[in-house]
């Protein structure tokens, strides 16, 4: 359930990124500029000239995806060393961006939604080394480059006296973001702190790609540190470089779904313009490229994980002997993509994001619960895992309960209320998540009681495994 929500949100985010545009007056472009494709757009009752930012990233995404099988072949079949492959793919990244400026591709969000669905179906069906892993290998260079640029830019901005805009804190409608500090704050601080998605990725795809078990801690822990760094730098970038008025117009437009990726990209454009005098439009395109690569690679990984989980689910329900069709990669990949599309078409990013955060942290809480039982079974210390498991379980249960109450209450009013079309699938998902999570907790508590009443069984198991 949670992965389906994640897939739907990242699918919609990807479509937002690849179709992003912005008024040329704020991009500091003239009407006859050839840097971006300019077109008239109706905003309310007024027609305003906009520059298309997303089309350039679209071309880059196409080229990187098409090159991915070649990179996979060189790495896994010809065993080309990593360094020359990095240099080769760095050249591909640069050329793809230049090609994007020269030959941008413009498609609608609806067209992109189905094209991306077709892509993830293919990428998650075929072997991981053919598209997914080499695509990550190429894309990560853009992401690392973006991280370094933001780090340097934020550092220089700080030395120049840049401060946080007070308008972010004084905004009169700031309550549309929130609710009580607990549990909302602990749900907002997500992947870089505690992430259920990481627990799924590490057991679903990372272990199948890593060459030595000695590298597991370095890869897993550093991934969390890097994602936490990305989150922190993004907050600093947006809060210092992007005017608060523009931020709220982009992320919380009246009567429309927000575009958080565009807010990030415009902040990148303003920062690079202020420090290096790079045109805002070019900086915004680079911002789109950084986040789009991150979103797409998360999307295909999440759909693949969903496929694995469906295979395990059928095996469990059938007592270990499911029908062959239920284990076929095409069947489960198709089902995962279909579920993703249902939620993507029936919810907005901003309405689904709240349950995504709660769901992601809930997986983390349940992973810690399972780890606590595993440690107790082996007679080892388990409190370091069980204490955060209890805290995060209570927090995520509270957030899901708050979400359900807010969307079912007829007296509740305000920006958290969404349309019936958006409300129904999300409330259904929240209730189902709560029921399933309560089931896991009940099983874990029962196992704890059993093992605590017979500590010698856990100790014997630990000694047997150690031997």
- Is pLDDT at 143 greater than 90 in this prediction? no
Torsion of Cα atoms, 4 then 5 then 8 then 10, to 10°: -110
- Predicted pLDDT at 462: 55
Which residues contact residue 5 at a Cβ distance below 8 angstroms, ignoring those fewer than 6 apart? 343, 352, 355, 356, 359, 429
What's the Rg (C-alpha) of the chain?
Answer: 23
Poorest-pLDDT segment among 114-128, 187-201, 228-242: 187-201
Q: What is the pLDDT of residues 372-429, one digit of tens each?
A: 989 998 888 999 999 999 998 998 898 888 888 877 764 344 444 445 556 677 788 8
Task: Quote the CA–CA distance of 15 and 111 in Å, as a whole number.
Answer: 9
Residue with tokens 């309550």: 175
pTM flag (> 0.75): yes
- Is pLDDT at 177 greater than 80 in this prediction? no
Poorest-pLDDT segment among 35-49, 175-189, 241-255: 175-189
Give the pair of three-digit tokens for residue 367: 């992973």
Q: What is the pLDDT of residues 36-94, one digit of tens each?
A: 889 898 877 788 999 988 888 889 888 998 999 999 999 989 999 989 999 999 999 99
Is 178:253 a contact under the CB 8 Å cutoff?
no
Choose among 109, 94, 100, 79: nearest CA to 37: 100
Give the pair of three-digit tokens for residue 444: 């874990």
- Mean pLDDT score of the chain: 84
């Amino acid at each position: 359930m949670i992965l389906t929500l994640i897939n739907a949100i990242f699918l919609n985010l990807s479509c937002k990124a690849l179709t992003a545009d912005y008024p040329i007056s704020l991009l500091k472009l003239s009407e006859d500029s050839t840097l971006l494709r300019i077109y008239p757009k109706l905003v309310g009752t007024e027609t305003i000239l906009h520059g298309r930012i997303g089309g350039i990233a679209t071309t880059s995404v196409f080229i990187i995806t098409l090159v991915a099988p070649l990179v996979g072949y060189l790495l896994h079949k010809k065993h080309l060393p990593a360094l020359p492959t990095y240099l080769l793919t760095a050249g591909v990244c640069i050329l793809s961006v230049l090609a994007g400026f020269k030959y941008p591709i413009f498609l609608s969000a609806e067209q992109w939604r189905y094209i991306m669905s077709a892509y993830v179906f293919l990428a998650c069906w075929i072997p991981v080394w053919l598209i997914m892993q080499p695509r990550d290998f190429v894309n990560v260079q853009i992401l690392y480059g973006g991280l370094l640029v933001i780090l340097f830019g934020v550092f220089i901005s700080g030395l120049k006296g840049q401060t946080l805009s007070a308008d972010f804190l004084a905004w009169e409608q700031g309550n549309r973001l929130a609710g009580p500090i607990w549990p909302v704050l602990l749900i907002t601080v997500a992947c870089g702190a505690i992430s259920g998605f990481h627990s799924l990725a590490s057991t679903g795809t990372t272990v199948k790609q890593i060459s030595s078990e000695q590298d597991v801690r370095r890869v897993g822990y550093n991934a969390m540190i890097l994602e936490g760094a990305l989150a922190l730098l993004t907050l600093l970038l947006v809060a210092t470089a992007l005017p608060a008025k523009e931020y709220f117009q982009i992320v919380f437009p009246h009567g429309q779904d927000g575009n958080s990726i565009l807010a990030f990209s415009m902040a990148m454009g303003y920062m690079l313009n202020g420090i290096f005098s790079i045109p805002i439009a070019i900086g915004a395109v680079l911002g789109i490229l950084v986040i789009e690569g991150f979103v797409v690679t998360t999307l295909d990984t999440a759909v693949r994980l969903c496929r694995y989980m469906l295979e395990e689910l059928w095996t469990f329900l059938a007592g270990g002997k499911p029908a062959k069709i239920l284990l076929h990669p095409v069947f489960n990949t198709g089902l995962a993509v279909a579920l993703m599309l249902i939620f993507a078409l029936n919810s907005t990013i901003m309405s689904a994001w709240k349950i995504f955060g709660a769901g992601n942290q809930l997986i983390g809480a349940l992973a810690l619960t399972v780890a606590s039982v595993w440690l107790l079974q082996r007679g080892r210390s388990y409190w370091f895992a069980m204490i955060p498991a209890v805290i995060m379980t209570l927090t995520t249960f509270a957030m899901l309960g708050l979400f359900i109450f807010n969307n079912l209450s007829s007296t509740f009013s305000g920006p958290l209320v969404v349309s019936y079309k958006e409300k129904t699938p999300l409330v259904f998902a929240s209730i189902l998540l709560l029921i399933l999570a309560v089931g896991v907790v009940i099983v874990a508590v029962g196992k704890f009681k059993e093992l605590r009443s017979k500590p010698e069984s856990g100790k014997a198991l630990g000694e047997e495994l150690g031997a």
